[in-house]
Structure 1
Amino acid sequence: MAWENQTFSSDFILLGIFDHSPAHTFLFSLVLGIFSAAVLGNSAMLLLICVDTRLHTPMYVLLGQLSLMDLMLVCTTVPKMAANYLSGSKAISVAGCATQIFFYISLLGSECFLLAVMAYDRYIAICRPLRYTDLMSPKICGLLAASSWILGSTDGVIDVVATFSFSYCGSREIAHFFCDFPSLLMHSCSDTSTFEEILFICCILMIVFPVGIVIASYAHVILAVVRMGSGESRRKAFSTCSSHLTVVAMYYGAGLFIYMRPISERSPTKDKMVSAFHTFLTPMLNPLIYSLRNKDVARAFMKVLGKGKSGD
C-alpha cells in the first residue's frame, strides 16, 4: 500500500540484522558486549581527561571530544536496535527516525572535522613546537573543536530536512538496523538526483577535504620525524601518529564507502555490514588504540585507580 500521504503519520519498520536463530542470538550478545566496552572505554577516557590536570592540553582536550562523539554515536543506534530485537517490535516512529538521522550524520560529520583538527594539532606539535602554545592555545583549540560540532550539526539538519521533503511510496520497511537517509531514499518515488549531487558535494566537504588536511599534516609530520636525531623522540612521535592514522583510516574509509556511492548502486547487505563496523567497532577501538599506546593516559589511569584504592 502506498504511504506517500502517510509519511509523517506511520511508523517505519527496521528490518535489522539479527533474527532469533542461535547464531544470531550469539552475534547479538557479542554486539551488546562491544557496545558495553565502547561505553565504558569512552566514558573512562572522558573521566581521566577531566580529573587529571596534566591531560588538560589541546591534544587530550581533542581526544576527549572524540570520546564524547563516539559515546554519543554508539548510543544513537544500538539501544534502539537492542530494544526492537528484545521486544520483537521492529517499528520506529517518524520522529525517532529523524532524530537518529540527525544525530548519526551530525556526529559523523563532527568527527570527520575533529580528526582533521587532531592531525593539525600533531603537525603543530612536531613541526612547529616553538609556536605550539600560540597556534594551539586553549582558545584556538576550543574554537576548532566547537567548529567541528557546528559543521557536523549543520550537515545533520540539512540531511534531515532534505530526506523528509521527499514523498515515499511502497513498502515502509527499511533494510537497515537504524534510520540512515540513503536507506530511506531508496524508497522515494520522487526524483532525488539533485539531492544526490548535493550529497556528493557535501561528502567532498565533510570527508575528502578533512582527509586532505590529514594527509598534508602527516606528510609534514613523517618528514619531521625522520629527521629527528633522538631515537626516543622518533619512537614517541611515530607511536602517537600511527595511533591517529589507524583511527583515520578506519573512519574515513567506512564513510567514503557508505556516502560517496550513488543511491542506485547501493547494496543493503553491504551497507549494513560497513555501518555495523563503523557504528559498533570503531567507538570501541578508539579508546583502546589511544590508551594502550599512551603513557600519559596509563599514568592517569593508575593515579585514579590508586586514589580509589586509598579511599577504600
Structure 2
Amino acid sequence: MSLIKEKAVDTLKIEIDAVTKLIDRIDDEFEDAVNGILECKARLIVTGIGKSGHVGQKVAATLASTGTPSFFMHPAEAFHGDLGMVTANDIVLAISNSGETNEVVNILPIIRRIGAKIIALCGRRDSTLGKNADWFIDAGVDREACPLGLAPTASTTAALAMGDALAMALLSARNFTAQDFAVFHPGGSLGRKLLLTVENVMHSGDENPVIGVEKTAKEALFVMTAKGVGATSVVSSDGTFIGLVTDGDIRRCLAQGSEFLNEPVDNFMTKNPITITKDKLAASALSIMEKHKPRPITVLPVVDDKKHPIGIVHLTDLLRQGVV
C-alpha cells in the first residue's frame, strides 16, 4: 500500500475507533441532559470556536430542523454583545475538546449570571468547561488522526457524532414525524416528497378518464387516447369504481385479433384493483406502485369514501414532481 493510501486508511481507522468508543459514553448524564433540553422553555444555543465552531453550526442546524429550537452563537461575538441573545430560560451547549478554549471559557460567568444552564460537549470533565457545566457529555478521544497531533480530526468527528446522537435522541423523545420534518423543509425535492399529497398530482375533473362497464374496448381506447394517461377507470351504473383498463390490457388483447375491440370492458378489465385516496402522501402512491406484485404498476386510481373515481395518478406525474 502506498504512503498516501496508508495515511488515508489510518485516518479512517482512528476516527472509526473514536466514534465507536462514544457508545459507552451514552450514560445517565447524557439522558439527564436530553431531559433537561426537553423541559427547556426556550432555545438550545450552541457555541464553539474554530473547528468546534464549525461542528457547532452543523449541530445547531440539525437540532433546529428536527424539532429542537436552536441556533449557533459565536463565542467571540457573544463577548461583544451577542450574549444578549441568551435568556435565563435557555440552555447553552458549549463545544470544546480541551474544555479550556479561552473564548468559550470567558463567556461562562456571564451565562451563569444570566441564569441559563450549560451542557459541556467536551473531552475533559476536569476542565474549566466541564466543571462549570450542569451536564457533561464526554466526547473525548485517545488521539487525533493528524500525525502531528495538532489538527482537530478525530475530536471533531467525535463531537459531530455525539451532536447527532443528541439530536436524534431528542427527535425520538419528541415523537417528531416525517410530516413535522416537512414543515421545516418545504423547499426542493425533499419538501415535495414529504408535503405533496395525491390530490396535488392526480388527474381530476375533465382530465380523469372514466367509462361505464358497458362500454367496448374501442371506446376505452378512445378515452385513454384523449386523456393521455394510458388507463381509464371503469364504473358501474351507479358510478362506483369497479375496475381499471390500461393500454397494456388493450395491446395484449389486440394480439389475439382486432375483433376484440368490440368486446365490453367487463370481459378483460382488472377488477377491484389497488386504489388510493386523495389525502395520502404522493410518496405513498409511489411506494404502492413500486412494490406491487408480481410487477410494478404505472397508474393508480384515486377514489373517494363512496368508492367513486375522482382521479388517477400516473408514475410520470410523480417523477415530474420530484417524488423519488
| TM superposition score normalised by structure 2 | 0.17
Of the two, which has the highest radius of gyration?
A: 2
Relative contact order higher in (CA < 8 Å, ≥ 6 apart): 1
Higher strand share: 2
Higher helix share: 1
